[in-house]
Chains A and B, each alone.
Chain A
């Protein structure tokens, strides 16, 4: 397959999928079939792209055939393809879950097209080679996310979406401001050309670059939920049904971190002496505050929401240490975390659907009734906490080793301490939801939804699938570690990226 097509397919497939779904508006069976076909196709397209960039390192194309840096550049390296594949895996899992896990009204009124368009936005953010297009793709992704969060319009959802919309609008404003300043300083928006320009030490505007970087750190910091910009996350992520929140919670903050990693390795390298110590502090505080917040919660989904913040700290930690091993650790951790977090959210959805609550005080005794689900949960939870030999362990091992090598002892100490608290928090969920007997007051009401074996099996399927991938990464980590190292290598040595993008002139 030509590389031009490979780069465009992850954008076109969800778009066509969404359009076809819209053509079958309200006919939910047809929509389901269409969305399923395009989910699989998207995953396959991502996999082919990953395989290609593992050989060719960077591939790029110019949409509309205008030569770079004037045209619309699409470029993929190992990191972007890896995020795409991971997004494809959870997209498929969430799709499978939604077949039984989401009510028919939401599925009829636009769930599938919105999910597909959201995936198109994610693919656009990963593949774009242009700073302004990055902003446009992010807006596309966000507006689908707004609509998905408020789909159904229950009270909690509306309240959560309002907060989410307002804070993200502010973040987008900051980004746009930063992009404007960047253009006025360097006169270009193409990432590859900018990367060349900011590496010229004699450029008169170089000292002003750190000001721009603060705009991007704040803007994407809000979207990635970094301390102290995370308060919107636990206020909005637990409100929609789990088939929606699992995808959003699993992926979107990591897309923010991906962009930060991309920009701070490609563009804002001139003032790392100031930015990296700042990021070390931010990473440590993000981890700590997230996990402390989780300890105070008594709601299954809210605990998981706070853990998203805490894990974002680990990903930022890799960027803050800024060595090849640390960045590789970050990349590995992002992949691991997208999978595990989505899986835990899906499990919380199965529990909430059966018992009609996600409050720890009203749940209990799930282990007796659904031992299979309990096993699925405990394996995912241990993976999140990072006990060996799970996938989380390898990510944390890489990060901790890189931290010790770089002499960041306090940061490593904090990260290990946070791991223990994470384990404590997961044990709390295990004790309260699965292990303790069901509260007597609740038992009388008998709110348990009757089990239909086929239905239950359909809910277990995506969770088992994701857990299979997580366990595979855990026991057989070497391939993913190697891919992560390759991705980190590309991040720190950008010559192949700039060469490929800028030499890719228009075909006559």
Chain B
């Protein structure tokens, strides 16, 4: 897992970036989602992967027993997923509006419209 996940993060970043640079609006949406996923996965991996060790402290103990998974990156991750979801939802609605207004899903057409004015 430790070798596989970083490779996946890298691939997701690359694919996300490629799609964001694409002129097709739907692929821009895909790019935004994949880029968000890449960041979230990166946050998860870099927090350290510990299997089967929850950070729950049982009754008598003062600290959790080693080895335990650090809960902070997971908390950050949850927050980041929610925020990312909000922004992705907004951008999907925005891109739909762009598509309806410009009657085109090509980013280049947006600029053409601008030159006429």
Contacts and interface: CB of A to CB of B under 8 A. Distances in A.
Contacts of B42: 176-177, 180
A170 B98 contact: no
Nearest to A156: B114
**Of B28, B47, B48, B97, which is in contact with the most chain A CB atoms at under 10 Å from its CB?**
B97
Contacts of A139: 83, 86-87
Nearest to B79: A136
A244 to B, nearest CB: 16
Interface string B73-117: 100100110010011001100110110011000000011011000
A154 B16 CA distance: 28
Contact of A169 (B35, B97, B113): B35
A320 to B, nearest CB: 29
A166 B32 contact: yes
A136 to B, nearest CB: 6
A132 B79 contact: yes
B83 A153 contact: no
B94 A176 contact: no
B87 A143 contact: yes
A373 interface: no
B91 A165 contact: yes
A272 interface: no
A75 B53 CA distance: 35
Contact of A159 (B39, B43, B98): B98
A184 B83 contact: no
B91 A169 contact: yes
A158 B38 CA distance: 27
B76 A183 contact: yes
A147 B87 CA distance: 11
B72 interface: yes
A183 B47 contact: yes
A173 interface: yes
Contact of B110 (A132, A147, A159): A159
A166 B28 contact: yes
A367 interface: no
Contacts of B1: none
Given A176-B80, A180-B47, A184-B48, A169 B32 contact: yes
Contacts of B32: 166, 169
B103 to A, nearest CB: 11
Which secondary structure dominates where chain B touches chain A? helix
Contacts of B43: 176-177, 179-180
Interface in A150-196: 150, 153, 155-156, 158-159, 161-162, 165-166, 169-170, 172-173, 176-177, 179-181, 183-184, 189
- Interface residues on chain A, size class: 20 to 34
Contacts of A183: 46-47, 72-73, 76
A146 B46 CA distance: 30
Given A170-B20, A176-B43, A165 B87 contact: yes
Contact of A132 (B20, B76, B86, B101): B76
Interface string B28-52: 1000100110110011001110000
Given A136-B79, A143-B86, A176-B80, A158 B20 contact: no
A409 B86 CA distance: 47
Given A143-B90, A161-B94, A183-B72, A169 B36 contact: yes
Contacts of A184: 46-48, 73
A155 B117 CA distance: 11
Given A153-B101, A159-B110, A166 B20 contact: yes
A153 B97 contact: yes
**Of B39, B42, B95, which is in contact with the most chain A CB atoms at under 10 Å from its CB?**
B39
Interface string B47-79: 110000000000000000000000011001001
A207 B6 CA distance: 22
Nearest to A182: B46
A158 to B, nearest CB: 5
Contacts of B97: 150, 153, 158
A173 B12 CA distance: 12
A180 B73 contact: yes
B71 to A, nearest CB: 12
A331 B113 CA distance: 40
A147 B47 CA distance: 33
A29 B46 CA distance: 51
Contacts of B90: 143, 146-147, 165
A369 to B, nearest CB: 25
Contacts of A172: 87
A150 B95 CA distance: 11
A61 to B, nearest CB: 21
A155 B102 contact: yes
Interface string A286-318: 000000000000000000000000000000000
B114 A158 contact: no
Given A155-B102, A165-B91, 14 more contacts: A139-B87, A146-B87, A147-B90, A159-B113, A162-B94, A165-B87, A166-B32, A172-B87, A176-B39, A176-B42, A179-B43, A180-B76, A184-B46, A189-B72
26 contacts: A139-B87, A150-B94, A150-B97, A153-B97, A155-B101, A156-B114, A158-B97, A158-B98, A158-B102, A159-B111, A159-B113, A159-B114, A165-B91, A165-B94, A166-B32, A169-B32, A169-B91, A173-B35, A173-B39, A176-B42, A180-B43, A180-B73, A183-B73, A183-B76, A184-B46, A184-B47
Q: Please name the 4 residue pairs, one residue from A and one from B, whose CB atoms are nearest each other, closest first.
A: A180-B43, A173-B39, A184-B46, A180-B46
